[in-house]
Structure formats: structure tokens, C-alpha cells
Amino acid sequence: MEVRKESNGLKNSMVTREELAIINQFTKRALKEDEVYTFAVRLCDNEVDRDGERFPRATLEELAELFVGKSGIFDHEWTAKGQAARIYRTEIVEEEGVCSQGEGRCYLKGYAYMLRGGENDALIAQIEGGIKKEVSVGCSVERCVCSICGEDINTCAHKKGEVYGGKVCCAELVNAQDAYEWSFVAVPAQPRAGVLKRCGGEDAGTLKTLVKRRGSRANQRELESLEKQAEVGKRYLSELRGEVKRLMLVCEQEADGEAIEKLAEKLDESELKEMEKLYRGKMAKKLGLRTQLTYGEKTKAAEDESDFRV
């Protein structure tokens, strides 16, 4: 899965001898302090973004290693001409509080360098003046999992942005595979600006994407039909899950409601049906329910009275 995410916040810093030694590991000749301009950039954090996705801390730590040595470009245009800077080291920075998913706030900070002189002086002036500030990252992750059930977000029953058991569902980007580049972008708040996602590697994609690109009209109609059936199935599963919660709350009045909701959210269809059957029986016993027409009992009574007939 390819991912591009926006962030903001550039901070320039004075280059030290220690920093210069690290930078020179990426150069063909040893650079001097007055030849180099350095600045720090907030690459990405562990908060849920506008797409309903986030990088867990573990993924940020993986990306920290992968982004070392990667180039900074403009608007994700992958051309050698557009290379402006290079990250020479990274670190995970702790922040106060916790993110919406309960994890301690943190972000991936990159330290970048660029050469002074020529066209770069204009870019340095823009960085210093706060004009060039927002950045976006391009990277690849292995999986995009649901924060509720831990399964693939594209195949599970949960939807990003919806609340389950008091917790907002989001997609967690896990197992970083590669970091391509980081880019200066003009309008990071623009819907879907600088965002590209692809599951399963370079040539793969979602089934819907593949059908649209390569499928026939018949394939597209079949996919539309399957999507409608899937929506019906999701509604059925949601209603079944709601009924199981209701029955459990009636029968287990001392149980914690939030715990019941969390339990129900993790059950699949067969498990939900078993729970519905079990708790429907418990509720019938609890409320003393019985059928109004007791045919068997009347028949038995009539048979028993036959011995007293003359």
C-alpha cells in the first residue's frame, strides 16, 4: 500500500560539526559548514488524519530508519531536477497527551540539508520566511488494518469514522516497507492533495480499481451487483449485532454495557447467531414467556379425563 500524507512545520537549525560529519556520509566530497543549510521537518505523526488513517508509533519507528537518505522534492514530482534537500537523520519526538486512539502522542522528525548558493538560496529564503512549510511523505506499508477488529480495513464489517463501543474506527497503517520521498506541497488542506494509496505492491490495487481499469462492462456490472449485496449483508450483520447486544443487556443487567458492545463487535455472523439463540432462550426463561396455545396440554388433559366417562 502506497501512502502519501501531509504535515507541516519546518524549523531551521545551525549545523554543528557532529551534524556535518553525518551529512558528509551522503556526499562525494566533504562539505564545509558555510556550504550547508540545515532544517528540521515534521514528517508525520500518530494521530488519525482526514482520511481516517494513522501511523501507529511502531510504524513511525520503522519509517524513521527508512527515511534517512531520502530526497525532498516538490509536489511529489519524481524527477532528479526537482530534488531540493536530503534527510540525514531522524528521530521520534514525544508530545504531551494521547492521540484519539489512546496512544501517547508522537511524531517523526526529519533533519534535512541542502546546499547553499544558486537557485537554492531562493528556496532557503522561502523556508526562512515560512512560505515553504507544509510537507507530504510518500511511503509504502504492508497492511491497512481496522482499529476495532484488527482485520483488513477493506474486508471487515467496520467503517472508518463510525463509532463502535465508544471507539472511533480508523485504519492503521502497519509494517512500513519503504520510504520513497518527502515533498514540499502548496495546499495540504486541499481534499486528497498529495494522497496516493495502493494495496499489495506496485502493480496491485483494490478489486474495484482493477475492474475499472481493465474489466469489461459485464465485469463492472457484476462488481456493482456484488457491492449492493455486500451492503445488504452489512446491514443484516449490523442489525443482528444490535439484537445480540439488546438481548445480552436484558439478560445480563449487571454486566458492563461497554464491555458487551466491544464483545459483540468482535463476533462474526455464525457466532452472533449462536449468541442470539442462546440469549433469546435465556430471555424467555427470565421473563417466563410461554406460548398462548398449549395444544399438547389440552390433548393430554382430554385423554386423562376419558377414564372417568360413563
Could you tell me if residue 293 is inside a domain? no
Same domain, 154 and 231: no
Q: What pLDDT score does 213 carry?
A: 55
DSSP 8-state symbol, 145: E
Same domain, 223 and 120: no
Helix/strand/coil for 292: coil
Which of 109-113, 134-138, 182-186, 227-231 is least confident?
182-186
Q: Tell me the pairing of strands 53-54 and 171-184.
A: parallel
Could you tell me if residue 308 is inside a domain? no
Is 244's pLDDT higher than 70?
yes
Same domain, 226 and 268: yes
Confidence of residue 138 (pLDDT cuts 50, 70, 90): confident
- Cell reading at 9: 512545520
Q: How many domains does the chain fold into?
A: 2
Mean of the per-residue pLDDT values for the chain? Answer: 79
Same domain, 35 and 120: yes
Is 214's pLDDT higher than 90?
no
Phi then psi dihedrals of residue 191, to 5 deg: -55, 125
Rounded to whole angstroms, the Cα distance separating 45 from 137 reads 11
Same domain, 132 and 246: no
Rounded to whole angstroms, the Cα distance separating 205 from 218 reads 20
Pick the more confident residue, 293 or 61.
61
pLDDT digits (tens, 9 = 90+) for 175-193: 999 888 888 776 543 233 2
For the chain, give the percent of residues with pLDDT over 90: 30
pLDDT digits (tens, 9 = 90+) for 50-83: 888 999 999 999 999 999 999 887 755 555 456 7
Q: What pLDDT score does 197 carry?
A: 32
Q: Give the pLDDT mean for 209-213.
A: 61
Domain edge (last residue) among 205, 227, 251:
205
Same domain, 140 and 275: no
Residue located via cell numbers 457491492:
227
Could you tell me if residue 139 is inside a domain? yes
Same domain, 130 and 243: no
Q: Give the pLDDT mean for 93-99.
A: 92
Q: Give the pLDDT mean for 40-57.
A: 90
Question: Which residues contact residue 301 at a Cβ distance below 8 angstroms, ignoring those fewer than 6 apart?
Answer: none
Q: Give the pLDDT mean for 71-98.
A: 79
For the chain, give the percent of residues with pLDDT over 70: 75
Could you tell me if residue 310 is inside a domain? no
Could you tell me if residue 300 is inside a domain? no
Q: What pLDDT score does 182 carry?
A: 84
Confidence of residue 264 (pLDDT cuts 50, 70, 90): confident
Domain edge (last residue) among 141, 176, 205:
205
Same domain, 254 and 146: no
Rounded to whole angstroms, the Cα distance separating 188 from 150 reads 29
Residue-number span of the structural domain to which 260 is assigned? 213-287
Q: What pLDDT score does 231 carry?
A: 86
Is 265's pLDDT higher than 90?
no
Same domain, 33 and 120: yes
DSSP 8-state symbol, 198: B
Contact 103, 84 (CB under 8 A): no
Q: Give the pLDDT mean for 290-301.
A: 51
Rounded to whole angstroms, the Cα distance separating 107 from 120 reads 27
Quote the pTM value: 0.59
Q: What pLDDT score does 279 carry?
A: 86
Could you tell me if residue 112 is inside a domain? yes
DSSP 8-state symbol, 152: B
Q: What pLDDT score does 69 carry?
A: 92
Rounded to whole angstroms, the Cα distance separating 87 from 102 reads 30
Confidence of residue 88 (pLDDT cuts 50, 70, 90): very high
